[in-house]
Structure 1
Amino acid sequence: MGRNPYYQGPRSDHFDGERFFVPGHPFSKSRRDLLKWQFGGGREAWPSDYAGETIRRPAEKVIGTAVRITAIGHASFLLQTEGLNILIDPVWSERASPVSWAGPKRVNPPGIVFDTLPPIDAVLVSHNHYDHLDIDTLSRLRRTHRCRILTPLGNDAIMKAKDSELVAEAYDWGARVALSHRVAVHFEPSYHWSARGLGDRMMALWAAFVFETPLGAVYHIADTGYRDGQVFRDMRRKHGRIRLAVIPIGAYEPRWFMRDQHVNPEEAVRILSDCGAVRALGHHWGTFRLTNEGIEEPLRALATALHGSGVQPERFQTRKPGGVFEIFD
């Protein structure tokens, strides 16, 4: 038995009995590397305020096969289709941090006012980093919506330890979970890692999500490095036609430290090609300052990468908080 406080289960090709890992791709960054980055300088200044789009009051439901995605900010989205309302990595807190008085502070309000959310059916939490797993927001959702919470292995224990009434369903890579008779979600691998503190690295699993919808698959990648690109090509083979890939484009500098866990815009365009998605939506930029690049540098770098790859800009778009992206027949 390992010393993992979050998950005890059988060994697998990505769990050694104590820690999770990506087969063939060990996570190599040390605490010394972290300190070298943190004290190495090179951070571009961010504004204290960076306006989003119009703050939305979303529809109560989207009936039928259309898919509507509203950007809340950073990696948080409301996905609506087939009468379902699904939140992905919801963060309404002021900071992406273990404390309320320090850490990355949002530079724009959430694109949806919390109290105007429609009835939420399910919440998907990709991994335990503070810009994705926000206990305060999850507790508010539990009190007001009584929705299902689905997350990779081990993150359910993290939630329950902070709020004993937060009961989440925990799944391994490869799981398929029905959300309705026509919509399901698959838990898929990404090149990332996990930790809430200094002593629990890789002790909870992380995942990307692929949603089955009547209009085709929606592939949401929360955080990932590029590595050899194999997992993205695997998604194309496994899930067929992907209508939309939601791909991170920010939090990537300096490359020597970030490349194993965060793609840059050039690699994000490569993921679009690898997975064969019809369209892409960039996220993970413009709300929380996590790394060294300027606030709009991901947009400039994405435009350059699209031009260099011959991909039309309308195929890979971005939205600020409050922005909406829709898929129709």
Structure 2
Amino acid sequence: MSYFAAQRDTSTNGSCVRSTRRKVLLAGAGAVLAGAFGWGAARPNPYYDGPQSDHFDGERFFNPGSPMRTNLIDFIQMRLTNESAEWPQSFPSGEKDRPPPRVGGRDLRVSFVGHATFLIQLAGLNILTDPVLSERASPISYTGPKRVNDPGIAFDDLPKIDVVLLSHNHYDHMDETTIKRLVARDRPRFIVPLGNDTILRAFATDIDVSAFDWGDETDVSPDVAIRLHQAHHWSARGVRDRRMALWAAFSLRTPAGNIYFAGDTGYADGSHFRAARDGAGPFRLALLPIGAYDPRWFMSYSHQDPEEAVAAFGDLEAENAIAYHWGTFKLTGEPIDEPPALLAEALQARDIDPKRFVAPRPGETWKAS
């Protein structure tokens, strides 16, 4: 989707008009995108006040050894010059899941709700990841990326949610409306990276939320523990809060096996995946993003492509994987159905059984065999 376009006119007057429009366009784009993507003047961190570390400088979080070099001008250039494939207005999956109230013992049931939202059922717990069930992934209700398919589980069909894993604060992963509904109905425990607890308490003052750093671990039941891991990403929710809340991946240590949820991440050198494998593996199942990667010169820092997702699958040494972050919200330039096609090619190139790394549509489920 291209938000910006210049008028074509070969006349002198047309060139002047085009130039004026372009100046107005760039000025307006700067204001809008600064708000949407957090490029703006610095201010004291409103979310987190803690000691410096190898990924926090006292004001902002960062990926160690991997500074983010793209800026607002790069973003505008990308939007103006990148050829973006058209998406259909509707891309229904045809599937709807009505999950059971609970799954016990060593059974494992994972339902794909859409984008980065999964319902993970195991050991008597219902765990939801990055819950976004609203129509748009946007700070504005009437504009911004709009769903092209319904959630694979309707909100009213969700079982009682015990735990929510929230990877970071971008609007396609942290949805105020969905969070408020979950708090009002179920009062689940939210597990979030540092600083995101402050944001959530602004949504719901009585929310049960615990914030952790990379490497921290917490028990959510006598049988299940959650650990936070480095992801290669960034954060912003407003005009001046870029990288002021942390981002993370998660691992789950459970009787049904260890599970990895990547949140939102670029591949970088893959070291964060290998560190998770060493610290929390082996993994029975890995949930890995495969979409929102085009163009690579701009998006590679934040989002891995399907080939990199297969590399991450190898780094994690996971038995199985489920792909997500494609086919629901149009965020970047690739065609809607390209990510699973490229995933299939990457698996074939590495001689990996495609049944081990699947790309479901919303409403489809994965059960441990």
- TM-score grouping bracket, smaller chain normalisation: over 0.9
Calculate the aligned-residue CA RMSD, in Å: 1.1
Question: Please, what TM-score do these two structures have when normalized by structure 2?
Answer: 0.87
- Map Cα deviations across residues 278-320 of structure 1 (whole Å, 9 max, x no partner): 1111000010000000100001111111111111111111111
Give the aligned length.
Answer: 327
User: How many angstroms apart in 2 are the aligned matches of 1:161 and 1:143?
Assistant: 14
Match of 2:323 in 1: 282
Gaps of at least 5 residues in structure 1 are none
Whether 1:236 aligns to 2:288 is no
Residues 114 and 328, structure 2, Cα contact 8 Å, conserved in 1: yes
Alignment of structure 1 residues 1-329 onto 2, 5 Å = 3-328=44-369
Residues 156 and 167, structure 1, Cα contact 8 Å, conserved in 2: no
Residues 243 and 278, structure 1, Cα contact 8 Å, conserved in 2: yes
- Map Cα deviations across residues 247-302 of structure 1 (whole Å, 9 max, x no partner): 00000000000001100000000001111001111000010000000100001111
User: What letter corresponds to residue 302 of structure 1 in structure 2?
Assistant: L
Gaps of at least 5 residues in structure 2 are 1-42
Shift of 1:41: 3.5
Shift of 1:29: 1.0
Residues 53 and 323, structure 1, Cα contact 8 Å, conserved in 2: no
Residues 60 and 118, structure 1, Cα contact 8 Å, conserved in 2: yes
**Identity across aligned pairs (percent)?**
50
User: What letter corresponds to residue 285 of structure 2 in structure 1?
Assistant: L
Residues 292 and 333, structure 2, Cα contact 8 Å, conserved in 1: yes
Rg comparison, structure with higher value: 2
Question: Please, what TM-score do these two structures have when normalized by structure 1?
Answer: 0.97
Residues 187 and 207, structure 2, Cα contact 8 Å, conserved in 1: no
User: How many angstroms apart in 2 are the aligned matches of 1:260 and 1:303?
Assistant: 23
User: What letter corresponds to residue 154 of structure 1 in structure 2?
Assistant: G
Segment drifting more, 202-211 vs 221-230: 221-230
User: How many angstroms apart in 2 are the aligned matches of 1:190 and 1:121?
Assistant: 24
User: What letter corresponds to residue 306 of structure 2 in structure 1?
Assistant: P
Residues 61 and 85, structure 1, Cα contact 8 Å, conserved in 2: yes
Name the structure with the higher helix share: 2
User: How many angstroms apart in 1 are the aligned matches of 2:346 and 2:118?
Assistant: 25
Residues 150 and 168, structure 1, Cα contact 8 Å, conserved in 2: yes
User: What letter corresponds to residue 288 of structure 1 in structure 2?
Assistant: F
